[in-house]
Structure 1
Amino acid sequence: MLIYVNQIKVNGSNALDSTLKTVAGWLKELTKRHFTPEELKISEDYIIGRQKVRTYNASQAEPFLYSILFSKEGANKSSHSSGFDSSDSSRHSTEGMPRPAEVE
Structure 2
Amino acid sequence: MRADIIVTTTDEIKGHEITEVIGLVRGNVIRAKHIGTDIIAALRNLVGGEVSEYTKLMAEAREQATDRMISDARLKGADAIVGMRFTTSMVMAGSAEILAFGTAVRLKQK
| Larger helix share, 1 or 2 | 2
Check whether TM > 0.5.
Answer: no
| Larger relative contact order, structure 1 or 2 (CA cutoff 8 Å, min sep 6) | 2
Q: Normalising to structure 1: TM-score of the pair?
A: 0.30
* Greater C-alpha Rg: 2
TM-score scaled by length of structure 2? 0.29
Larger fraction in strand? 2
